C-alpha cells in the first residue's frame, strides 16, 4: 500500500515508517522538522528509513495546502497516517495558538486533501489527554471527554471531532488511535523517561513534579506502532481505539524502575505539580483487542532496559536537547 505519514520524522513516526517499510509498503514522510526539538535529532531518527528505496521524504508543512496537494498528487497515497502535531501539555499553556494551528488547522487540511486525492483511509494520532481528570479508570473510548485540562488536550479532541464530521460528510474512513505516554528509543526529549535517563547518565539530579503519585499508562513504541498498523484494517466509518498498555505506573515507581535498570540511585529534586497535568491515565484496551486483535506486549522493565541501551549510544544532539521551548523564540501570542 502507498502510505503517507505526516510527522514521520518524529519519535513515533520514524518507528512507524520502519515498520511499514519492512511490511512492504511505500512510505511518504511529510514533516516540516519543526523547532519543538532540534532538527538534527529528527534527521537522525530517519537514518534507517532514508536508506530504504521505498521511502520518500518531503519537508513540507501540512498547514500549507499547496505543499499537501503537490505531494499527494505525486505520491498518490491510499492511506494517510496523520501524526504531525505540536505535542506536550505544559508548553500548550504558554503557546495555545501554536497548538491550534499545528493540531486543529493541520488536521482539517490533511482530511480535505485526503478526500480530494481519493485516499481511502485516514488514521489520526489521538491522545489519552482527552479523558481529562475525572474519568473512572480504566478509560474506555465511550467515556466522556468534554473537559480537557490543557490547550493540547482540547486541540487533540478538536482533531477527533473534525475527523468524525469529515467521515460523516464525505464518507472517508477515519480511525483515531489514542496513544498513552509512548516511550522507547528516540523518545521526545521533553518526556519524563528521556529526561530521567539522560540526567542519570550525566550524573545530574532529576526533577519530579508533585509528590510522584501521578501515574501514566506507559506504552512501548513498538507496541504503539503495531497498533497503528493494525488500525489500517479497522472497520470502515469513524472509530476510536485506545492504544495503551492498560497498566499504569506512578512517577515514583517509574523512578525506582529506572534506578533498577541503570543500577544507579537518582538524586531527586521536587517541584510543584505542573498545570495541565492529570493525575492518571489508564487505557481500557478491550475494544482494540476485540476489533483490531491488538494488545501491548512489552512490559515496563523490558521497555526501559531497551531504552537505556539505546540512550547509551544515542546521537550527540539528543543529549544537547534542552527544553522544547525553541517555540518561545516566536513573538508572544495571545
Ligand X SMILES: NC(=O)c1ccc[n+]([C@@H]2O[C@H](COP(=O)([O-])OP(=O)(O)OC[C@H]3O[C@@H](n4cnc5c(N)ncnc54)[C@H](O)[C@@H]3O)[C@@H](O)[C@H]2O)c1
Binding-site ranges for ligand X (CB under 6 A)? 6-7, 9-13, 30-34, 36, 42, 61-63, 83-87, 102, 106, 125, 127, 179, 181-182, 188
- What is the pairing mode between strands 206-209 and 268-271? parallel
Please state, in angstroms and rounded to a whole number, the distance separating the CA atoms of residues 85 and 125.
9
Residue 98: phi, psi to the nearest 5? Answer: -60, -40
Contact 89, 153 (CB under 8 A): yes
| Cβ proximity to ligand X, 30 vs 278, nearer residue | 30
Burial bucket for residue 121 (CB in 10 Å: 0-12, 13-18, 19+): buried
Nearer to ligand X, 172 or 193 (CB): 193
Distance CA 31, CA 23 (A): 22
Minimum Å gap between C-beta 210 and ligand X is: 19
Shortest distance, position 54 Cβ to ligand X, whole Å: 20
Report the Cα–Cα distance between both ends of the chain, in Å, rounded. 43
**C-alpha grid cell for residue 22?**
519492512
CB of 231 to ligand X, least distance (A): 13
300 HSE (CA, 13 A, CB side): 21
Contact between 41 and 75 under an 8 Å Cβ cutoff? The reply is no
As measured in angstroms, the least distance from the Cβ of 31 to ligand X is: 4
Instruction: Rank residues 152 and 238 by Cβ distance to ligand X and give the closer one.
Output: 152
- 121 or 188: whose CB is closer to ligand X? 188
Show Cβ contacts of residue 185 under 8 Å, excluding neighbours closer than 6 positions: 15, 221, 306, 307, 310, 311, 314
What is the C-alpha separation between 23 and 45, in angstroms, rounded?
A: 19
Which of 3/32 has CB closer to ligand X?
A: 32
Residue 55 β-bridge partners: 27
The residue among 65 and 171 lying less far from ligand X, judged by its C-beta, is 65
Residue 320 CB, nearest approach to ligand X (Å): 16
- Range list of β-strands (E), 138-281: 173-179, 182-183, 206-209, 215-216, 219-220, 238-243, 249-250, 268-271
State phi, psi for 84 to the nearest 5 degrees.
-60, 130
Give the active site residues.
152
As measured in angstroms, the least distance from the Cβ of 67 to ligand X is: 9
Cβ-closest residue to ligand X?
10
Amino acid at each position: 500500500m502507498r502510505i503517507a505519514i505526516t510527522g514521520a520524522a518524529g519519535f513515533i513516526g520514524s518507528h512507524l515508517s520502519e515498520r511499514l517499510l519492512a511490511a512492504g509498503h511505500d512510505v511518504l514522510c511529510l514533516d516540516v522538522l519543526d523547532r519543538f526539538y532540534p532538527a538534527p535529532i529528527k534527521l537522525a531518527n530517519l537514518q534507517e528509513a532514508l536508506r530504504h528505496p521505498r521511502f520518500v521524504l518531503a519537508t513540507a508543512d501540512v498547514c500549507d495546502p499547496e505543499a499537501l496537494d503537490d505531494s499527494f498528487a505525486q505520491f498518490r497515497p491510499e492511506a494517510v497516517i496523520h501524526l504531525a502535531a505540536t505535542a506536550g501539555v505544559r508548553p500548550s499553556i504558554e503557546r495555545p495558538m501554536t497548538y491550534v494551528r499545528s493540531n486543529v488547522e493541520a488536521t482539517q487540511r490533511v482530511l480535505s486533501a485526503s478526500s480530494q486525492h481519493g485516499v481511502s483511509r485516514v488514521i489520526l494520532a489521538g491522545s489519552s489527554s482527552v479523558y481529562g481528570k475525572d474519568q473512572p479508570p480504566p478509560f474506555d473510548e465511550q467515556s466522556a471527554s468534554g473537559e480537557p485540562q490543557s490547550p493540547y488536550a482540547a486541540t487533540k479532541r478538536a482533531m477527533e471531532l473534525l475527523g468524525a464530521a469529515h467521515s460523516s460528510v464525505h464518507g472517508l474512513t477515519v480511525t483515531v488511535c489514542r496513544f498513552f505516554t509512548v516511550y522507547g528509543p528516540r523518545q521526545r526529549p521533553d518526556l519524563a523517561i528521556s529526561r530521567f535517563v539522560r540526567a542519570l547518565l550525566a550524573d545530574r539530579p532529576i526533577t519530579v513534579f508533585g509528590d510522584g503519585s501521578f501515574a501514566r499508562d506507559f506504552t512501548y513504541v513498538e507496541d504503539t506502532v503495531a497498533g497503528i498498523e493494525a488500525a489500517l484494517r479497522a472497520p470502515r466509518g469513524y472509530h476510536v481505539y485506545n492504544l495503551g498498555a492498560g497498566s499504569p505506573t506512578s512517577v515514583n515507581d517509574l523512578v525506582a524502575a529506572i534506578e533498577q535498570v541503570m543500577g544507579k540511585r537518582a538524586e531527586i529534586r521536587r517541584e510543584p505539580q505542573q498545570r495541565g497535568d492529570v493525575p492518571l491515565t489508564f487505557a481500557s484496551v478491550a475494544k482494540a483487542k476485540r476489533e483490531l486483535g491488538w494488545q501491548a506486549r512489552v512490559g515496563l522493565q523490558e521497555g526501559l532496559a531497551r531504552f537505556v541501551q539505546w540512550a547509551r549510544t544515542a546521537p550527540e544532539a539528543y543529549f544537547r536537547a534542552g527544553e522544547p521551548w525553541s517555540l518561545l523564540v516566536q513573538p508572544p501570542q495571545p
